[in-house]
Amino acid sequence: GPLERRRCRYLHTGRACCQMVETLLAALILVCSSVSGGSPGGYTGLPALGGIYYYQYGGAYSGFSGADGERAQQLDQRFHLLKLPIARAAMAVGGCLLVFPCVLILVGVLRVPWHFPAWLLVECTLDIVIAVGTIPALYCFFHSLLRVYNSSVCKVREQLYQSKGYQGFWCSLHGAEIAAGLLGCVAAMAYLLSAGLAVREYRTVHEQKQKPVQL
């Protein structure tokens, strides 16, 4: 009926489109973060993802003998444990960023801003807080990762695999982590745009609600 059409009309607005983009970016950040904190062993470079086959079937350590193989496994596990808290924190942030715009879309479809225009100011404030908070969050993310890659565990692990001819175990940021950072920057800009649209919508709703009183 007319009520359903009015609710679905919100999905064609600029705010809804911006919020759907934020949802997509959050989902991609979540995926990239999960790749960063993947299995205990594995190639750290995206071009070497084909080497995952060796880990699945136990052939990754075929070039090692005896103590070297056990040492490689131990280094993989220690390196994984160093990166795991960072990856979990990034996944938690990505999950929160995924839920937040979904809630805003639901609120918009239910026409809550029309009945309570002050909600738009609250939404604008939250958008600005998220956009500004993304900058220190990205700094902590990359600072923590670089600290792990500069650790002795990563350096020894890199040298051990290189001595056996294996590639892809470099102590540097890989594609998924860089992509997560870039997506975070784009998400911050999207939230700033969403904040501006929320202010404009507040003015529009306020003016429309004042018209019957003036008449």
Residues in the chain: 215
Task: Report whether 138 contacts 89 (CB < 8 A).
Answer: no
pLDDT at 65: 65
Look-up of token digits 């942030």: 93
Query: Average pLDDT for residues 138-165, to the nearest whole number?
Result: 90
Query: Can you tell me whether residue 13 is helix, strand or coil?
Result: coil
pTM: 0.80
The predicted-structure confidence for 102-124, as pLDDT tens digits, reads as follows 999 999 888 888 888 899 999 99
215 CB-side CA count, 13 A: 6
Domain boundaries, the chain: 2-210
pLDDT at residue 36 tops 90: no
- Of 141, 174, 162, nearest to 75 by C-alpha is 162
